[in-house]
Amino acid sequence: MNQQPLGTVHVNSNWNAELNILNLQLASRELRAVGWMGLGDKEQDLNFNIDFNGFELKLIAPFLSAFSNEFGGELDGNIDLNGTTRRPLILGEAHVSNGVLHIDATDVSYYFSDSIMLSNNLIEFNDFDLRDNRGNTATINGEIRYNSLEDIRLDLGLTTDNLLVLDKKGGDQFSGTLLASATGRVTGTTDKLDISVEARTNPGCEVTVPVSYQKTVKSQNYITFVSDDEEPESDEDANATQRRSTMNLVLDLLFVGLFQMGVFGAALATVLGQLTAGIGCLIFAFRTNPYFQPSFLTITNLSNTIGCTLGQHT
């Protein structure tokens, strides 16, 4: 199955011509199924009882190959499979042991050994635990509802105080190590998921994000570039940027949040923030640069120049 060996499977079958059903008995070291399947219709009726005993989850790994190159573990449990081939109904409980799921995009593997409840059109996760390779854990609660194999809806929540979410080495894309505490939820259908996450990085993080155009992201005051071709930003420049950003943020909260001035309030906050920064720069220049400090001789020469100019026009 999916190029994975199932071992020796014993199959007994007989056809009931009157009911047009196929009675089946399948038995192997990992799987035992007894029941019948209807024949002749577009959606064949199903009625099976299935026992799993160390069933290898790697058999379904190819279905997850779009985002994972490793999925495995062993499945134990008993389920009833009814409904039709297009709209199956599953009832029972299954336990996964030694489970592993590798996420290719972040290069992190998660491990799990826990139980899953299955009822009609519903797969439930109750305090389902995930672990990373450092022993950190996350808890999943929620459900997966399905009316058919083409109509699957997720409503899953995840909470963790510390979990490895990135462990990628080098390459052209982002890399590094990222540990985070998070609360998140995934809802919607498989082709239109709504993912909402609140997360905070934890100690031990180091992430590299390669970018092609520094000017595009330099407008963000929390990013500073240091390279052989460019000197790092001075402390005074950094402090000025931080003060300007803080002023803009405070005015945004005041005009947009408190006074409800909308887009005009945001624009006004930006203008006032830049104006305040400009005045501050002028004051700093007059105080520290002799070129901007007027002397008596400079004022006298300036008045003589103005007088001469006015005399020429008299």
Question: Cβ(71)–Cβ(92) under 8 Å?
Answer: no
Strand partners, 125: 142
Question: Residues 296, 298, 304, 310: is their CA dihedral positive or negative?
Answer: negative
Mean pLDDT for all residues in the chain: 76
For residue 309, what pLDDT band results from cuts at 50, 70 and 90?
A: very low
Which one, of 51, 50, 49, 53, lies nearest residue 74 by Cα? 53
Residue length of the chain:
314
- Rounded to an integer, what distance in angstroms lies between the CA atom of residue 12 and that of residue 25? 5
- Structure confidence at residue 240 (pLDDT): 54
Backbone dihedral angles phi then psi of residue 157, each to the nearest 5 degrees: -115, 145
Q: How does pLDDT run across 208-223, given as a tens digit for each residue?
A: 766 654 555 555 555 5
Q: How does pLDDT run across 277-307, given as a tens digit for each residue?
A: 666 666 665 566 665 555 544 445 444 544 4
Q: How does pLDDT run across 28-80, given as a tens digit for each residue?
A: 888 899 999 998 777 789 999 999 999 888 887 777 777 788 889 999 999 99
Question: Cβ(97)–Cβ(88) under 8 Å?
Answer: no
* pTM to 2 decimal places: 0.59
